[in-house]
Amino acid sequence: MEKHSGSGITALRPSSSFVGLRPPSQRRRILDAMIDCCAEKTYPGTTIAELVRRGSVSRTTFYKLFTDKRDCFDAAVTLCIDRLGEALATGASGCDSPAEATRRGIAAGLGLLAAEPRLALLLAGDVLGVDPTQVDRYGQMLGPTLARMWAEAGEPTRRHSSPGLAFGRAQLLVFHEVAAGRAERLPALAPNIVYLAIVPFAGHDEALRQARLAKDDPPVEVPA
């Protein structure tokens, strides 16, 4: 969004129309409007009139794509989950061990959320108010992936702490920072999140060791 160097009338136009990128689809514009609007006003303060205005689409287009505000919100949640999942996967790719993949993936995920706190506000804040069962959707996406990674690496399954609770804790720590308007500090949460992601599968000692390594890992730069 920092691309407008144009002056006069061009500065007023949406960036996508002149930076030479393919303009986002109508659907994507509405979803981005939903994510922005929720970040500013939360879900209850978001109206379809505003989504339509911010997304520069007609009301008819909105109702062609979504049945109602809630349907649009659910699609926005999916978009946020996909974007976060993509960041985690990209960060973790090419790593040799589950511990390293976890550290790199988390650094990339926190980098994304620091650059776009609106994603974290929606996933960790609005979702709780709109429909708590939605939280399970991405909790259940991450937990089994991590479990499989450790199983494939030959880590025997032991009775450690609960992966579901670790996920809830991580979510609260992230929300605590973004709710306070301190998203830029999210990368500093990496040791805590790494600990939480590892402790259910490899235990406290290994999780603490990895948390210390994460403290010294370089932060991940996220392209704007």
Partner 1 sequence: MTQTTGGTGPLPRGKHGLPREEVIRSQRERLLTAAAKVCAERGFDATTVASILAEAGVGRESFYELFEDRRACVLEAHRVLLDDLIERVRVAYTGSGEWVERCRATIAALLDWFAADPLAGRFLLVELPAVGPEFHERFEEGFDRFVAVIDSGLDPDLPEPEPLPATSLAVAAAISRVYGEVAAGRTEELPTLVPALTYEVLVPFLGEDAARAAAFVEVPQAG
DSSP label of 145: H
Interaction of residue 48 with partner 1, rule CB under 8 A: no
Interaction of residue 173 with partner 1, rule CB under 8 A: yes
> Measured from the CB atom, is 41 or 64 closer to partner 1?
41
The one segment of 51-59, 82-90, 106-114, 192-200 that binds partner 1 by CB under 8 A: 192-200
x/- binding map, residues 195-214, to partner 1, per CB under 8 A?
xx--x---xxx--x--xx--
The one segment of 13-21, 80-88, 100-108, 157-165 that binds partner 1 by CB under 8 A: 157-165
Q: Residue 206: helix, strand or coil by DSSP? A: helix
Q: How far apart are CA 91 and CA 104, in angstroms?
A: 5
Interface with partner 1: number of residues (CB under 8 A): 39
The one segment of 25-33, 78-86, 102-110, 194-202 that binds partner 1 by CB under 8 A: 194-202
| φ/ψ bin of 24: left (φ > 0), alpha (ψ from -120 to 50), beta (otherwise) | beta
What are the CA-CA distances from residue 156 to residues 64, 109, 148, 164, 198 (Å)? Answer: 50, 27, 11, 19, 14
DSSP string, 59-119: HHHHHHH-SSHHHHHHHHHHHHHHHHHHHHHHHHTT-SSHHHHHHHHHHHHHHHHHH-HHH
Q: How far apart are CA 157 and CA 160, in angstroms?
A: 9
Q: Please give the residues from 66 up to 125 whose contact with partner 1 meets the rule CB under 8 A.
A: 121, 125
Start-end of H helices in the chain: 26-41, 48-54, 59-65, 69-92, 98-115, 117-121, 127-130, 133-152, 163-179, 190-202, 204-216
User: Closest separation between CB of residue 129 and partner 1, Å?
Assistant: 3
The one segment of 12-20, 29-37, 52-60, 126-134 that binds partner 1 by CB under 8 A: 126-134
Interaction of residue 187 with partner 1, rule CB under 8 A: no
The one segment of 77-85, 105-113, 142-150, 155-163 that binds partner 1 by CB under 8 A: 155-163
What is the binding site for partner 1 (CB under 8 A)? Answer: 40-45, 121, 125-126, 128-129, 132, 160-162, 164-165, 168-173, 175-176, 179-180, 191-192, 195-196, 199, 203-205, 208, 211-212, 215
